[in-house]
Amino acid sequence: MHVMITGAGGMIGRKFAESIANDDRIGDRTVETLTLVDIVPPDVATDFTGTRNVVEADLSNEGVAADLVARQPDVLVHLAAIVSGEAEADLEKGYRINLDGTRALLDAIRAAHETDGYTPRVVYASSLAVFGAPFPDKIGDDFFLTPLTSYGTQKAMGELLLDDYSRRGFLDGVGIRFPTICIRPGKPNKAASGFFSGILREPLEGKEAVLPVDDDVRHYHASPRSAVGFLRHAAALDTQMLGSRRNMTMPGVSATVADQIEALRNVAGDETVALIRREPDPTIEKIVSGWPRDFDVRRAREAGFTAEDSFEEIIRVYIEDEMEGRAPRA
């Protein structure tokens, strides 16, 4: 089996590629070829024992998508995107990368299908930002898409394209609406949600962190480990159970900022929590106020997707995966 990952240099792309290097079985098939695509050559999955291709490419450039699709991967995991805060700040760039790049990729698949019947599994990384307020207490998969950001609008358009091209038989799509991934390792990115990780990651490493919103802000989270699990499961899923509705919200943990901080206290103690500094940011507060808080994900659970059950579990996953099991103790 040939797996291609666009956006392979990003955090989730890197971890997914590394998981394949560690375990090359996806479902009942073996990954024999792994193609990693990003605008900067991704240096990941170097331990992969099969054929490993690294492609430096920007999907929004003319001809790039067709060249990638000509490799005919069996599974194409489309993670390439710019994140929420950057997409909101730079409208043109957001639509060029998040919409035009996605459509170019799907249209290249359509052209290949019409030529020789090529029909790959496409796993599309979407977002909770496709939903807009006012919200019910728990948002189900049948809740209408009314995004309140340009990023959410771009992702919603991608979802509709995935449904339509799957319906027409050009591809076999699975759309994954990721919870906010927490705790993200490494340096902060430009995502408006970055502080959710920062107020945990930095204190766990003995550094000060800035909290730009109130403690009562509630959001929906899953760990990077769960994100990789979503992708692996989607790559091998029997899509007959999905029918024409190919996009699903993944399982996660609904928690307030106060819940996050209390979980951090339970795991790492008061001195670690004391490293969080409150510094309100009206721009971030405005963006976050329009985000959903909790979800009814029965479709995803029925399809076999799983995630953590508590925020304390999310913190412990980070400690195990990124800190070799060592962290400040309560």
Record the tokens describing residue 160, joined without a space.
């509709």
Return the HEC string of the chain: CEEEEECCCCHHHHHHHHHHHHCCEECCEECCEEEEEECCCCCCCCCCCCEEEEEECCCCCCCHHHHHHCCCCCEEEECCCCCHHHHHHCHHHHHHHHHHHHHHHHHHHHHHHHHHCCCCEEEEEEEHHHCCCCCCCCECCCCCCCCCCHHHHHHHHHHHHHHHHHHCCCCEEEEEEECEECCCCCCCCCCCCHHHHHHHHHHHCCCCEEECCCCCCEEEEECHHHHHHHHHHHHHCCHHHHCCCCEEECCCEEEEHHHHHHHHHHHHCHHHHCCEEECCCHHHHHHHHCCCCCECCHHHHHCCCCCCCCHHHHHHHHHHHHCCCCCCCC
Catalytic residue among 118, 124, 151, 165: 151
183/197 Cα distance (integer angstroms): 5
* Interstrand relation of 172-178 and 247-249 (parallel, antiparallel or unpaired): parallel
**Backbone Cα Rg of the chain:** 19
151 labelled catalytic:
yes
Bond preceding residue 251 cis, omega within 30 of 0? no
Termini Cα distance of the chain: 46
Query: Which residues are part of the catalytic machinery?
Result: 151
